[in-house]
Structure 1
C-alpha cells in the first residue's frame, strides 16, 4: 500500500514523500525588480525544514508586464537567477526538491499600463481592458517562456511548472470565454499552450519533468467543463507535459450556477478523472489540509501527489505533523526531535 510518505520518483525527480507545497504568490518583491528577497528565502526554506517533499515556487513571470503586480517574482533577466538559486540550494539541504511556476498574467496583469491577452476583454469592471496580441506576438510569446525556463534550469530547479490555470495567459487562450480570436489561435484553443509546452521542453534537460497546472472546469456561466480540459490535457501531454496539477476556476467573475465547492477535497474528483483519462501522474489540490484526508487521496490512488496550500501557510511544519499523526517515518531535523516524539527512533 502506498501512502502520503511513500517516496515517489518520476524521471529525474526523486521525492521523499507525496507532500507538495503549491505555488502561492507572496507579493513580496521589494524593489519591483522581480528578484526574490529574504522573505522568499525564509518562507520556502521553512517548508523544506518542515518536511515537504516538493516545493513549487510561486508564479514567476516571463516579462515585467506579465506580472499580476509589480511585487511579483520574475525570470526575464539573468539578474534574477542568483536569489532563486540560493533558495533551491538551501531547500536541497533538507531533502526537499524544488520546482518553479513560470507564467504570464495576461489580462490579469494589474500594474501593466496596457495588459495583453488573446482578446480585448477585461477580467471585470475593476481591471484594465487588455490589448489583443497580434498573431505574430502570440507566435513569439512562447520564446519568452523558454528564456525564463532556461534561467530556471541554470538556477538548479528540479522541475518546471507551467501555469495554465486560474485565468492567466495560457488559460485565456484555451478558453472560449476569453479567446474570441479568428486566427489560428482562435481556431485551435490548445495551440498557444501546446507551443509554450514545446518551447519549454526545448530548453529543459530531457529527464526533467514538466508539470502543468490546469483549471479542470470554469466557474463562469457557459464556461468549459471536464471534457474540454481532458481534451486539452491530452494535447498538452502529446506536446510534452509529464504531470498535471489539477485546480479549477479563475477565468472570470464566479456565476451563481458555477460556484466552487466549499467542502474538503472538492477538486479531487477532477484530478482523478484527468489521471484516468489522460494516463499521467496528477497533483491534487484544494482543501486537503487534514493529514488523514490527504493520506486517503494517495492511498485510494486518486492522485499521485497532494498539494497543501493554506494549511502550509498556517503551519510550515505541516508535513512533520502529518507524519506524526499518521505514524509514518520521515526525516526529522535533529533540532526539532523533542517536538515530534513519535518520530524519534
Structure 2
C-alpha cells in the first residue's frame, strides 16, 4: 500500500487515506446558511474517494464572515442546514470536517463574483470590522481594535460554533489561524501593535489563539482538532516559520492533533514565489522542529508528487484544493495511478475502474 492510501487515525477517528480536501470558500450562503450548492459541491469529493473533506471557512459570528455570502455556525438554523451535508459526506465514507473562522479586518468584503472589490459598506449589507489594532488591510476599511470584552466574545463564539459543529455531526474541527484573518492578525507583529497582554512578545501575540483552542477543546473534548497556520507572512519583520513551530508546540500541549500548514495572506506587499509544492518545506520544518503532525498544501496536484511528500517524511497528509475542483474523483484517479488497491470505489462507478 502506498503512503497516500494508508489510513491515518486522529484520536478515535480513522481517515481512510491521506489525500484530503482543503477548505475552499464558495461565497454562496444566505445569511450564513449553506445551500444546495454546498451539498453537491462537498458530497462529490466524498464520492470521489477523499479521506477528509473540510468545509469552507465557516464564520463563528455574523461579523466574522469574509463576505456576506459566507457560511456560518452562529445559530441553530445554520447547524440544522449543515446536518444533511455532513450526513452525505459520512455516508460516502469520508470524514467530515469544518473550518471555524473569524476574518477580522478582512471581513465584510465583496465576494469574487460581485465584480467589486474592497469593503462592503453598511448600506450594502456590510459591517464594521475588528482587529488587534486599528491597521487596515490595504484597500479595506480601517477596523476597530478589540477591547477585552470583545476578545472574550471571540473566544466564546469559537466555543459555541464548535458545539454546534459537533451537534451537526462534524467529526473533525479546524481553527483558522492563517491567511491574514483574525487569529493570524494577532500572531503577526505586522498587524498586532497592541501594548497589553495580547501584543508584543510571542507569548502575548499567541494568547488569543491559545484561548480559542482551549474554548474549542472545552466544547469538543474528544474530537480531532486541527489548526491552519500561515507559516510565514512572506514579508520582512512578519510572522515566520520559526514562530509557527514554537506556537504549534504550545498548541499541541493544549490538545491540537495536527497542523495544516499554508502561508501568506496577511499583507498586500507579500512576496511569494509559487510553484509545485512551494509550501511543503514549511510544513516539513514545523513537523520536525515541533514534533507534531502536519498536512501540506499548495499546488500539490499530482498523485506521485503527493506520495513523494509523504514518503520523504515532510508531512503526514496532503491537502489539495484546485485539483479537486478540476477532478472531484481525484482520489480514485490517484489510487489507479499509484497502483493502490482501495475498496471504496462507489459501486455505481465500478464499470469505469481500470
TM class by shorter chain equals over 0.9
> 2:205 — aligned with what?
189
Report the counterpart of residue 49 of structure 1 in structure 2. Answer: 47
- Equivalents in 2 of 1:299, 1:219: separation in Å? 27
Alpha-carbon distance in structure 1 between the residues aligned to 2:90 and 2:61: 28
Cα distance between partner residues in 1 of 2:353 and 2:285 = 37
Unaligned 5+ runs, structure 2: 110-119, 121-125
Q: Which residue is 2:11 aligned to?
A: 11
Alignment of 1:335 with 2:348, yes or no, is: yes
Q: Which residue of 2 aligns with 1:66?
A: 64
Give the SS at the match of 1:184. Answer: coil
Following TM superposition, by how much is the alpha carbon of 1:2 offset from its aligned partner in structure 2, in angstroms? 5.0
Give the Cα–Cα distance (whole angstroms) in 2 for the partners of residues 286 and 117 of structure 1: 27
Which residue does 1:291 correspond to in 2?
303
- Of 236, 248, 255, the residue aligned with 1:240 is 255
- Corresponding residue of 1:200: 216
Structure 1 runs (4+) greater than 6 angstroms displaced: none
What is the CA–CA distance in structure 2 between the aligned matches of 1:272 and 1:2, rounded to whole Å?
A: 19
CA displacement at 1:83 relative to structure 2: 1.7
Q: In the aligned structure 1, how far is the partner of 2:241 from the partner of 2:198?
A: 21
**What is the count of residue pairs matched by the alignment?**
334
For residues 336 and 76 of structure 1, the distance between their equivalents in structure 2, rounded to whole angstroms, comes to 38
SS of the residue corresponding to residue 199 of structure 2 reads: helix
2:242 to 227, 237, 241: 227
Q: Which residue of 2 aligns with 1:251?
A: 266
Distance 2:7 2:254 in 1: 27
Q: Deviations over 1:152-203 (max 9, x none)?
A: 0101111100000000010001110000011111141110000000000000
Distance 1:101 1:43 in 2: 16
8 Å CA contact 1:220, 1:253 repeated in 2: no
Work out which of the residue numbers 177, 181, 188 in structure 2 matches 1:164: 177
In the alignment, what sits opposite 1:210?
A: 225
- Name the CA distance, whole Å, in 1 between partners of 2:247 and 2:74: 27
1:115 lines up with 2:129 in the alignment: yes
Greater CA drift, 51-60 or 324-333: 324-333
**Are 2:132 and 1:132 equivalent residues in the alignment?**
no
Alignment correspondent of 1:300: 312
Question: Shift of the alpha carbon at 1:139?
Answer: 2.6
Q: Secondary structure at the match of 1:211?
A: strand
3-state SS of 1:100 partner:
strand
Q: Distance in 2 between matches of 1:239 and 1:224?
A: 21
5 Å-filtered alignment, 1:85-96, equals 85-96=83-94
Q: Secondary structure at the match of 1:171?
A: helix
SS of the aligned residue for 1:218 comes to coil
Q: Tell me the CA shift for residue 17 of structure 1.
A: 0.6
3-state DSSP of counterpart to 2:53: strand
Question: CA offsets per residue over residues 277-333 of structure 1, 9 Å max, x none?
Answer: 111111100111011000111122211110011100111001111111111112111
CA separation in 1, counterparts of 2:6 and 2:312? Answer: 13
Superposed displacement of residue 4, structure 1: 0.5
- The alignment status of 1:309 with 2:321, answered yes or no, reads yes
> In 1, Cα distance between the equivalents of 2:100 and 2:156?
12
1:205-260 per-residue CA deviation (whole Å, 9 max, x = no partner) reads 32x111000011112232222111112212222222111000001001134xxx22
- Unaligned runs of at least 5 residues, structure 1: none
